[in-house]
Amino acid sequence: MILVTGATGGVGRAVCRRLAERGEHLLLTARDEDRLRALVQEVRTLGGGADELPCDLRDQEAVTRFSRTVLREHGAPAAVISLAGHSIRRSLEESFGRPHDLVRLTGVNMLGPATLLLAMLEAMSVAGGGRIVAVTSASARIPTPGWAAYGASKAGLDAWLRAVRPQSARRGVRIAIVELPLVATAMAAPTYGSAPRGALCPDRAAQRILHALDARRSLLSPPWARAGAVLSQAAPALAASAAGRAGELARRFAARGTVSRGGASASRPVRDKGPRP
């Protein structure tokens, strides 16, 4: 059984469809029960098996109950694909008086996933091993103005995964981190528009995630993200300033031309790579 969090999002649905075509049995979780049920039917139609179990990762008690239910009713998963996440872009001035943004993003991007993965990791270790694939963000390693809360929450999960990975591997559970570029999903739409230029399509993003699941890779990341991470360590103030300017240019480029006069999309997500905040 493969546990997929954030299953009903754009990338999550694409991942589930590809796994269904392989004949995998999936346990799907997200907050929207109606969308979960619809996705379960879609997975079954495509030849896979599926069960749904809703959970709000922002609620730590709910995550603990969810973990216990999974292990009691389904046993330790063979793999976990952690996709759930939330993104907010705000300037420093827009963040004043909004500490709840930090609480919300930390819950869904770091504390919830880490709590769930910790419970699954223990059970998978006892069961003999498994695979964890977690999608974080280039923002975790390249602090970017406007994405402070988002980047910090993703950085927390990224650091936690990197720290536990050696000990996890000795227990037979391999951990892979996937840093995706900008993907054309509903989460990206408020900042980049509904069809951002240069963005990765969800199906192509799913292909990268499944490559991480199948291969013995510990990190899949765009070359520019790795280079940016090195610069961020060598010259943090310069890197943050440059990332802010580059991010704004990328946002303008991605959003430009996404809507025509009639309201229809005038550009399409590409199937290779694209910018990311």
Q: What is the mean pLDDT of residues 164-178?
A: 96
Question: Which tokens hold the place of 12?
Answer: 């999550």
Strands (E), 55-206: 79-82, 130-135, 173-178
The pLDDT of 14-40, averaged and rounded, is 96
Taking the C-alpha atoms of residue 186 and residue 236, their distance in angstroms, rounded to an integer, is 31
Taking the C-alpha atoms of residue 139 and residue 121, their distance in angstroms, rounded to an integer, is: 25
Does the pLDDT at position 215 exceed 60?
Answer: yes
Query: For residue 152, what is the domain's CATH number?
Result: 3.40.50.720
pLDDT digits (tens, 9 = 90+) for 101-121: 888 888 899 999 999 999 999
Confidence at residue 274, expressed as pLDDT on a 0 to 100 scale: 36
Q: List, for residues 32-50, the tens digit of each pLDDT value.
A: 999 999 999 999 999 999 9
Into how many domains does the chain fold? 1
Query: What is the residue range of 131's domain?
Result: 2-222+233-255
Per-residue model confidence (pLDDT) at position 251? 58
Q: What is the pLDDT of residue 243?
A: 64
Phi–psi pair at 175, nearest 5 degrees: -115, 130
Nearest to 272 by CA among 219, 201, 224, 209: 201
Looking at residue 216, what is its pLDDT? 82
Residue 27 lies in a domain: yes
Asked if residue 227 is part of any domain, the answer here is no
Asked whether residue 264 is assigned to any structural domain, the reply reads: no
> CB–CB of 205/180 below 8 Å?
yes
pLDDT digits (tens, 9 = 90+) for 179-198: 887 775 666 665 555 666 66
Share of the chain above pLDDT 70, in %: 79
In a domain, 267, yes or no: no
Per-residue confidence band for 268, with pLDDT thresholds at 50, 70 and 90: very low
Cα of first residue to Cα of last residue in the chain, in angstroms, is: 34
Is residue 58 included in any domain, yes or no?
A: yes
What is the residue type of 78? A
> Is 272 a member of any domain?
no
Question: Phi and psi (nearest 5°) for 52?
Answer: -120, 150
The answer to the question of residue 113 being in a domain is yes
Tell me what pLDDT residue 32 has: 93
* Mean of per-residue pLDDT scores for the chain: 83
Tell me, yes or no, whether 159 lies in a domain: yes
